A = this chain, B = another copy of it.
Amino acid sequence: MTAGRLCPVPEPWTRVAGPPPSRREDPPLTEITRTVHRHTGHFLEDFRPGDVFRHKGGKTVTEGLFTTFTEFSMTSNPLSKNARYARAYGFDGLVCPPGLAMLVAFSQTVEDVSENARTNREYIDMRFGAPLYVGDTVEVETKVLSVVPHRKIENLGIVHVQSTARKNVGAPDEGVVMTWQRRVDVFKRDPDADLQEGEARPDAVDCELWLPPYDEKVDYASMAHLSSGHSYFEDFEPGTRIEHSRGRTMTSEHIHLTAVLDNTSQVHCNQFMIDQDPARYVGGQLIIFGGIPFTLSLGLSCPDVGDNALGDIVYPTGRHTAPLFAGDTVFAATEIHGVRDLPGRPDLGVVETKLLGHKFVRTTDEPVDPDAPSGWGKVQIFELERHLAVKRRSHYA
């Protein structure tokens, strides 16, 4: 050990020394005379239509974050797995799949909007814009659109908000990554507080999916074996329901995953809180953050629906229809509702779908559930309208 070796700080940095070590036997610590309980998140009466929250933190997408969430959900689109493929397609590098963009952007809003929520009621008009890459920093703002008391439950109300996620604020590659609305059931802090009812108009946010050009000089066909062969635009026939083959069992990993996303809602990670009053919480156990089945359903459907998408355009509506717990196995299906041309882009088409997530639970119900093996019942957990921009085989394979 080179004692006392000089490590000069770079100019104009400064240095600050702590107290000498002997200090720790010094005078006793200050007497503590008051205790402050910090609480985080807003309650129903705190929301005022027209107000805007500029959320804390922001989040830079690292290669750690990218891999954890792209892969836990079994995403298979090579744009998110194979950098040489992504670059050949005109992207700067590996592209965050839409589920990861959603997880990063949405989680930034949790402390302000839904830390004290009972449930997330509905996603509305979730639109994608600029591609999100490793190294990009996402920052999010949320505008309150309306606050309405719950018709039946006294201490509850419905908050309707619009959130927008931008990347690299102030830098040349700034862009809107996503914008969406959601409605969420939020608890009152004070049962007697008056609500700030009313309505504000959503902002007209410039958020349209950025698409790299079709480049005739690129030999796309030479890379066609890297994506699934049955998920080009020509393959989708309205009226079809595709049952995706894979299932994925969730474990207590969800606590870690949720923390990594900055989602601070205590119903996902504080078992002690649940244990004190299990009856108050759904299922009497930690509930898995909705962003997990959202992203996992997208991932499980990817080989059949998303492998040849250049991007997701919009999710007009979405909702969670049942909770997910550690130990449950998630499956997904996709309904094809429409196909249409994309003006100006003969190489692409739009596929309009409904993505469905489900699980099975043991049951003794009669008659037997026709969609489940004997002794089991099928439980729908998630649904999402989803429009994708999909490559045509004629141009890419």
Contact = CB atoms under 8 A, between A and B. Distances in A.
A58 to B, nearest CB: 4
Contacts of A9: 130, 175, 210
A35 B1 contact: no
B37 A243 contact: yes
A37 B230 CA distance: 13
B259 A74 contact: yes
Interface residues of A, number: 149
Given A38-B242, A208-B17, A248-B269, A81 B64 contact: no
Nearest to A52: B1
Contacts of A135: 83
Contacts of A350: 16
Contact of A72 (B59, B259, B270): B259
A127 B19 CA distance: 10
Interface in A211-230: 211-213, 225-228, 230
A261 B226 CA distance: 16
Nearest to A256: B253
A270 B243 contact: no
A233 B247 CA distance: 47
User: A12, A245, A304 — which one has the most chain B CB atoms within 10 A of its CB?
Assistant: A245
Interface stretch (A146-154, A162-170, A186-194): A162-170
25 contacts: A9-B130, A13-B90, A13-B210, A13-B211, A15-B210, A16-B350, A17-B313, A18-B209, A18-B316, A19-B387, A33-B239, A38-B230, A67-B260, A73-B259, A74-B264, A82-B137, A247-B266, A248-B259, A248-B269, A249-B272, A249-B286, A252-B252, A253-B256, A272-B360, A276-B376
